[in-house]
Amino acid sequence: MTPTLVFDIETIPDVTGLRALLDMPSSVTDEDVANIAFHQRRQHSGSDFLPLQQHKICAISCALREGNHFKVWSLGEQDASEAEIIQRFFDGIEKYTPQIVSWNGGGFDLPVLHYRAMVNSVQAPRYWEMGEDDKEFKWNNYISRYHSRHLDLMDLLAMFNARANAPLDDIAQLCGFPGKLGMDGSKVWDAFKAGEIEAIRNYCETDVANTHLVFLRFQLMRGHLTPAAYEAEIKLVRETLSGYAVEHKAAHWKEFLAAWT
């Protein structure tokens, strides 16, 4: 069975990059640099959501299903650099050649990873393979929108029609899964400024758990899992997360399990 790696990133404004792009002196605080960028963006587009190249990755969480095992974790320690966590992500692809699964990964997570990998001089040869060295990747690689090595569940379920896109939180809850608990992407910058990186990582982990559960329901729908196999996968997730809640006293997993109908 090909390993599957569900992933999600959380981002903050790239203050260092914005300072250079906006030609801001060092006397301007990081928060003010970000606020100026938000203000300019609102004037330009009506939203303060920055262009993808102006984001910096502060957390990457993964759910890996490989062999008889399932695990959910965040890459690196809490004080790991952006370069380290991005390199760890691509190293995982190098090691496992998994199918990677996301919710809007084609529209956000992967383009941001591309830009930040370049900024940080990260290497990712397996990820960027498109058939030059491995012919199997010519017709099925991580880059193409319509290939399955990267499955963007949101994009596929919407039939590649942005007007039909749905939020992960809605789909997860409609399927009986917990959905988002207490935080969303709009709150990450404030949490980061408050030094709450653990809370950000915990939130990111619950997002990949939700995405993995939705992916399992999709696999059931398309006939890649029998009902019995689906129930076995669900049981594995519950048991794994219950173990985290007990062994690591992880409050976010206790909350997640309590919300799971």
How many structural domains compose the chain? 1
Reported as a pLDDT band with limits 50, 70 and 90, residue 1 is confident
**Domain membership of residue 21 as a residue range:** 4-259
When pLDDT is averaged across residues 83-93 and rounded to a whole number, the result is 98
- pLDDT tens digits for range 126-142: 999 999 999 999 999 99
DSSP tag of 146 = T
Alpha-carbon dihedral of residues 64, 200, 156, 214, nearest 10 degrees?
60
Rounded distance, CA 103 to CA 170, Å?
Answer: 12
Q: What is the pLDDT of residue 182?
A: 80
- pLDDT tens digits for range 132-181: 999 999 999 999 999 899 999 999 999 999 999 999 999 999 999 999 98
The yes-or-no verdict on residue 261 having pLDDT over 80 is no
Say which CATH number the domain at 64 has: 3.30.420.10
Q: What is the pLDDT of residue 39?
A: 97
Q: What is the pLDDT of residue 117?
A: 98
Alpha-carbon dihedral of residues 154, 200, 95, 56, nearest 10 degrees?
80
- pLDDT tens digits for range 229-240: 999 999 999 999
Beta-carbon count within 10 A of 68 CB: 7
When pLDDT is averaged across residues 92-117 and rounded to a whole number, the result is 97
When pLDDT is averaged across residues 182-197 and rounded to a whole number, the result is 92
The whole model's pTM is what? 0.96
- pLDDT tens digits for range 46-64: 999 999 999 999 999 999 9
